[in-house]
Amino acid sequence: MPSSPTVSLISLGCARNDVDSSEIAGRLAAGGYRLLEDAATDEPAEKADIVVVNTCAFVASAKKDSIDTILAAADTGSKVVAVGCLAERYGAELAAELPEADAVLGFDSYPELASLLGDVLDGHKPASHTPVDRRTLLPITPVARQAAAASISVPGHAAPSGTAAGPVLTRRLLHSGPVAPLKIASGCDRRCTFCAIPSFRGSFVSRSHDEIVAEAGWLAGQGVGELVLVSENSTSYGKDLPGDRLLENLLVELAAVPGVRRVRASYLQPAETKPSLLQTIARTAGVADYFDMSFQHASEPVLRRMRRFGSVASFLALVDSMRALAPEAGIRSNVIVGFPGETNDDLEALRAFLVGARMDAVGVFGYSDEDGTAALELDGKIDEDEIAARVESITSLAEAIAAQRAEDRVGTEIVVLVDDPEGGVDDYGTDSVVGRAEHQGPEVDGSTTIVGADGIALGELVRCRVVDSWGIDLVAEPLEVLPGGSTGR
């Protein structure tokens, strides 16, 4: 029999894309493909027959990175297929401008992806995706929306075969380790003027409670100890399902899944964050004291032009509520500077908020025009050089505040989930391991190096005392390994 065709899968962008890539990997493995695990290395040990690039289209730099990755994959001589957000958003236009891609396929192609890759390997070129505003694909009413969801491609589903009703799980984890994302919903119903995501990700659709819990159990069985809940807007979870406090109930139940050591919520909208959610996060054992808040700005005039709610005062009050419930909680956010019409007074309002909020991590983005967004038509556009200067200024302030927050943790106790057993800060020798405390989201919020860590294994929870800080990163000494054993693989 001929050998199985080999495929490399390169996932770009956010954790939501990582879940999609995990599902794609499961589909391709079930379709007879052999996945190469070193797709992202500069010199892979084996050339793939075909490379699938799961693209990102969030901002201009992400689009460029996606295109560069496609071109680099084509240079290897492998067949190349573009999927993901850039492919969904631009489809045939991308295919015409990027002939190096052997196919450009949208979300609805995922169920047939194994077959379509076979066509590409046979020398055929599948029809390129034709973009459509995906918000038009779902009915408006919640009941009708749920009824239609099963027939519309919503990346990310469902229960392991034999464990619960529903479709068979197709995920295959792409990386070993004790941390993995778990998608709880897809799409977004908000209409922020700077964001095009709803047009190509679609309207908001919650996954069912049973599907999510079943997948959490499957992930725990794969050695995953920390679940990072992802979506375009997690605070909307359950609004299209019957019942109340569904996100709060979900957090409690996920934290009780055997093998799960920690649950981390992400992508929270300030305007939708209720006191009951803050209380659930702060008071539920196994749920990280961590608030990933999408503030975006703090000046009322800028927020209104963004079609968002809030102000310096209301946002600071929200932060105060979090810290009243969980004084050592991690708080992170992203902000956009240089938005059309942003004045010096607006920038000072943002500065005042950042100083008052004292967040642990802030991502700073410069505004850029995005196709299909309402902000394209706004007046008061700011020069690119000025935007760059504002990004540099706000980034400098945010980094200084975050570094001070880390320094303030010296002498405190933290609980660290070990996710890298092979090293840490060089000055502390080779007997160190790296992990994340509750206030540190994976990949974005810094890390903790545990020194004197002989015998501490991947996936263990370790109570530590912080002894030093390096920027936003911490150095800690172990006090005890908490019961429950290692979740690592």
Q: Specify binding-site residues.
A: 14, 56, 85, 188, 192, 195
In three state form, how does the secondary structure of the chain look?
CCCCCEEEEEECCCHHHHHHHHHHHHHHHHCCCEEECCCCCCCCCCCCCEEEEEECCCCHHHHHHHHHHHHHHHHCCCEEEEEHHHHHHHCHHHHHHCCCCCEECCHHHHHHHHHHHHHHHCCCCCCCCCCCCHHHHCCCCHHHHHHHHCCCCCCCCCECCCCCCCCECCCCCCCCCCEEEEECEECCCCCCCCCCHHHHHCCCEECCHHHHHHHHHHHHHCCCCEEEEECCCHHHCCCCCCCCCHHHHHHHHHHCCCCCCEEEECCECHHHCCHHHHHHHHHCCCECCEEEEEEECCCHHHHHHCCCCCCHHHHHHHHHHHHHHCCCCEEEEEEEECCCCCCHHHHHHHHHHHHHHCCCEEEEEECCCCCCCHHHHCCCCCCHHHHHHHHHHHHHHHHHHHHHHHHHCCCCEEEEEEEECCCCCHHHCCCCEEEEECCCCCCCCCCEEECCCCCCCCCCEEEEEEEEEECCEEEEEEEEECCCCCCCC
Q: Specify binding-site residues for [4Fe-4S] cluster.
A: 14, 56, 85, 188, 192, 195
